[in-house]
Amino acid sequence: MITLENEYLNVNLAAKGAELQRLYSKETKLEYLWNGDDQYWGKHSPVLFPIVGALKNDSFTYKNNTYHLPRHGFARDQIFNEQKNSDTEAIFTLTQSEESLKVYPFHFELRLKYQLIDRKLILTYQVINTGDDELLFSLGAHPAFAVPNSPKTDYTDYYLAFNADKKLTYWKLDNGLIAKETGSIALNGHKLQLKHELFYQDALVFKAMQSNCISLLNTKNDYGLHFHFDDFPFFGIWAAKDAPFVCLEPWCGVADDVAHNQELAHKEGIIKLKQGQQWERFWEVECF
């Protein structure tokens, strides 16, 4: 376990999955991250790689061969190499292995860099194609934030505030795959009140969200967070049934749709990286 710390924040990071496990504010004395209680969902903030969501029949084809991957890929269950550069920065690295090549026939280097800057935690993802062929991948984030996280508040006291959207159109899921039907949510002054029923049919999946910042706020006090992300074409919002958290999930990639032909190169949102190229995205959370 690596601990990062500055004047404002205390953060714990695990080698397994390079996963953020604690996000604590010294100012507010509040825990902002979900605690990983197995009763609801035993993770905190997994990295989704090399796919996001589910594959049709949990499989894909590449160069006339069929491979099998679980939902959200394998990186979240792997032990990363870890390097603490300072009290406020750490880097985690994962590369292909004999086992990974059996289910995902690509050479890669995946890096996660965590940084603390004032009241912000910044997570940068880097993917490098270290192989001879084009690298095909998707990547997504899945941080879960505690709701409620401050005294004398309930789940329904909290809401999400979107910096651009006035209405949300989401794609429905059919056994984890993108269905043909969409639904819509009208936002009241850019705000979506949280309620457990929102997630009774699985995650809300967005393909055309206009916002690049979502704030988690409540009606009882001034504590909250700003979650900022750029250049992620998809977004998911999810919680386990009746669980005291909400996941804010920027994605570069999305689950297969129900009619997908299972060719990895044809997968919606798939990223294609030439030999030697590097790809990078980041998100940041500011606690107050």
Contacts of 280 (CB under 8 A, 6+ apart): 124, 125, 126, 127
Report pLDDT for 46: 98
Q: What is the DSSP letter of 73?
A: B
Report pLDDT for 212: 98
Q: What is the pLDDT of residues 60-95, one digit of tens each?
A: 999 999 999 999 999 999 999 999 999 999 999 999
Report pLDDT for 220: 97
Report pLDDT for 35: 97
Question: Residue 263 — very low, low, confident or very high, per pLDDT cuts 50/70/90?
Answer: very high
Report pLDDT for 265: 97
Report pLDDT for 238: 98
SS (H, E, C) 209-223: CCCCEEEEEECCCCC
- Closest listed residue to residue 46, CA positions, set 144, 177, 148: 144
Report pLDDT for 156: 97
| CA pair distance 104, 264, nearest whole angstrom | 10
DSSP one-letter string for 119-175: TEEEEEEEEEE-SSS-EEE-EEE--EEESS-STT--GGGEEEEESS-SEEEEEEEET
Report pLDDT for 64: 95
Q: What is the pLDDT of residues 110-138, one digit of tens each?
A: 999 999 999 999 999 999 999 999 999 99
The residues spanned by each domain of the chain are: 2-287
Amino acid identity for residue 135 in this structure: L
Question: Residue 269 — very low, low, confident or very high, per pLDDT cuts 50/70/90?
Answer: very high
What CATH fold (topology level) applies to the domain 2-287?
Answer: Beta-galactosidase; Chain A, domain 5 (2.70.98)
Contacts of 224 (CB under 8 A, 6+ apart): 215, 216, 217, 218, 288
Report pLDDT for 26: 98
Instruction: Provide the token pair at 216.
Output: 């988690």
> How does the average pLDDT of the chain come out, rounded?
97
Please check whether residue 60 is in contact with residue 67, taking contact to mean a CB–CB distance below 8 angstroms.
yes
Question: Residue 108 — very low, low, confident or very high, per pLDDT cuts 50/70/90?
Answer: very high
Question: Residue 14 — very low, low, confident or very high, per pLDDT cuts 50/70/90?
Answer: very high
